Structure 1
Amino acid sequence: MTLSPEGSELAVVTGASTGIGAATARELARRGFHVLAGVRREPDGDALRGPGIEPVILDITEPDHIRALITRVDGDPHGRAVRALVNNAAIQANVPIEAFAIDQWRRMFEVNLFGQVAVIQAVLPALIRSRGRVINISSVGGKVAMAAYGPYAATKFALEAVSDALRRELAAVGVEVVVIQPGAVRTEMLGRAITAGGGLVSAMTPEQLQRYGGLVHAVNAQAVSSTRSGLPATAAAKVIAKAVTARRPRTRYPVGREAAMIRWLPFLPDRVLDRIFAAALRPHFPEGTRRIR
């Protein structure tokens, strides 16, 4: 694909306020796209605005916001086609299944899956006209579900399934569907997940706290440790931009060594996997707390 220097094609990026989304918006703009960067607040848009980047208010759980996005896409003053939709918006909380209230489950699926599907459905007619691309940002959690990652992993497993079905449905009309699977990437999302998890821990019953308090501490400590040595968001953005621009993109792109290794773990027996994950967590448990065996 060759782009003119005038931003002759549009790219839509959801969840562009910070982290991978913001880095992707900047990388695509640098490569000549005019990026419609979805943010939830005006100040986030002001911080992101720049050459080739047009912030748009977009909460993917709000139908009015999605309709406004499509009005902007279809009414582009320069008649530019949409080359790619990058579905990046997501939320995360590291919490055991028993302790995650059902309304919180619904909220996580609303953002991480149903909102993604709603945007795909809305943008798809424009992508079919342009023979464009859907880029879904999944996670290593879309391949394996570690302890306290159940709710988040469930949404990412579902997004992977949607992506596979969509790729097969759209093959005949020339729209590629690509999954990005980041591993440890240094973004603000981890801090928000830990904060959310801390609030959920404080709401646990005494029995749940006894069962899971050490586990949540260990999971968050392990996540902080791995993320410190993880890739910067700009590295993930370069992989996403490659998926957008490659003439023949792969169906999946892992981001980082951790992601490249974890994607093969599901081929191991379940009990072997259980022992591997338990052993990796043990050093992070506080003294005197219940540990995974």
Structure 2
Amino acid sequence: MTMSSEKSQKPQGCVVVTGASTGIGAAAARELARRGFHVIAGVRRDQDADALRTDRIEPIILDITEPDHIAQLAPLFADDSRTGALRALVNNAAIQINAPVETLPLDEWRRQFEVNLFGHIAVTQALLPALLRNSGRVINISSVGGRVAMPAYGPYAATKFALEALSDSLRRELAPLGVRVVVVEPGAVRTEMSDRVIAATNQQAAAMSPEQRDRYGRLIQAVNAQAAAHIPNGRPVDDAARVIAKAVTAGKPRTRYTVGGDAALITRLSRVLPDRTLDRMLAFGLRPHYPTTSTA
């Protein structure tokens, strides 16, 4: 899409997207701009801003764990004449390290919660007055890991389960006030984050004690091998971006959308299968990825 085609579209208002440096966030920013929105895209680095900027995409440096960064958001909508009315907030920023519950230091647990949960709460609190004025929407990007917690995904899944609960409560609080809250649950999506997660998981595994390595070394290798095997078959980021755009624009949005057949299947199974049956199914899927000997 050219800049001139962006200019020719009638403005649809503004959408804020966090975690827009790469992956799903960047794709969502571009898709929403293509549909005529002015997009304020939160990024972490100047080079990411330069890569994303167009007539319809306005990047800002935004670390959602930094109070000073959060404080800059509300003033952007003190006067809607520049950006247009705030129609939606897409809470997308996230980090992930996979590790057994026993082995991940508490500081790393807290860091994941700061980004994946508390940062979203801070951004939502800052922008809710503008969303309430405009009957806007909050779109929370969760994960299939927000419905099913696989082994070694406990820290990440815990943040996403919490985000799902937060979304349910927020939806029920804001529905009478005209603001809709929607959750998007991607499954396997081909993003730069996938490779970073494997690298971070390996780094964390290297810090385990010898006893922990004996207990969990083969599990970590299997989890990483399974993740690597799924990357080539993951959905393209543009598919996730279109689902997010649907959540923003649908006249009567669902409370939850999945991205990819794997997410749809797992979320359905999680609702109907007994826990032990689901445990066995997940263990069966992981079994082929175990090494014969541990090298962790």
Task: Give the TM-score normalised by structure 2.
Answer: 0.94
CA contact (8 A) 2:136 2:178 kept: yes
* 1:224 correspondence with 2:220: no
* 1:176 correspondence with 2:166: no
Aligned twin of 1:288:
293
Aligned twin of 2:33:
29
Rounded to whole Å, the distance in 2 between the matches of 1:7 and 1:56 is: 20
How much has 1:76 moved relative to structure 2?
4.6
Rounded to whole Å, the distance in 2 between the matches of 1:285 and 1:261 is: 24
Aligned twin of 2:16:
12
- Structure 1: runs of 5 or more not aligned: none
Rounded to whole Å, the distance in 2 between the matches of 1:191 and 1:30 is: 28
Output the amino acid matched with 1:166: L
Deviates more, 1:6-15 or 1:242-251: 6-15
Output the amino acid matched with 2:230: S
Rounded to whole Å, the distance in 2 between the matches of 1:211 and 1:135 is: 39
Rounded to whole Å, the distance in 1 between the matches of 2:294 and 2:287 is: 11
Map 1:207-218 → 2, pairs under 5 A: 207-218=211-222
Map 1:99-248 → 2, pairs under 5 A: 99-248=103-252
CA contact (8 A) 2:14 2:83 kept: no
Output the amino acid matched with 1:191: D
How much has 1:138 moved relative to structure 2?
0.2
CA contact (8 A) 1:87 1:135 kept: yes
Q: Alpha carbon RMSD of aligned pairs, Å?
A: 1.3
CA contact (8 A) 1:58 1:69 kept: no
Deviates more, 1:104-113 or 1:216-225: 216-225
Map 1:39-50 → 2, pairs under 5 A: 39-50=43-54
Aligned twin of 1:98:
102
Deviations 1:40-89 (A, max 9, x none): 11111011111300001100000110111222232454361100000000
Rounded to whole Å, the distance in 2 between the matches of 1:128 and 1:78 is: 18
* 1:252 correspondence with 2:238: no
> Identity of aligned pairs, percent?
65
Rounded to whole Å, the distance in 2 between the matches of 1:76 and 1:208 is: 55
The alignment of Structure 1 onto Structure 2 pairs a total of residues equal to 287
Deviations 1:218-272 (A, max 9, x none): 1111111112101100110000000000000000000000010010222311111
- Structure 2: runs of 5 or more not aligned: 1-7
**Aligned CA distance change for structure 1 residues 170 and 144 (closer, same or farther; 3 Å):** same
Residue number among 243, 264, 268 corresponding to 1:264 in the alignment: 268
Rounded to whole Å, the distance in 1 between the matches of 2:12 and 2:184 is: 25
CA contact (8 A) 1:56 1:69 kept: no
Rounded to whole Å, the distance in 1 between the matches of 2:118 and 2:207 is: 27
- SS of corresponding position for 1:54: strand
* 1:274 correspondence with 2:279: yes
Deviates more, 1:76-85 or 1:60-69: 76-85
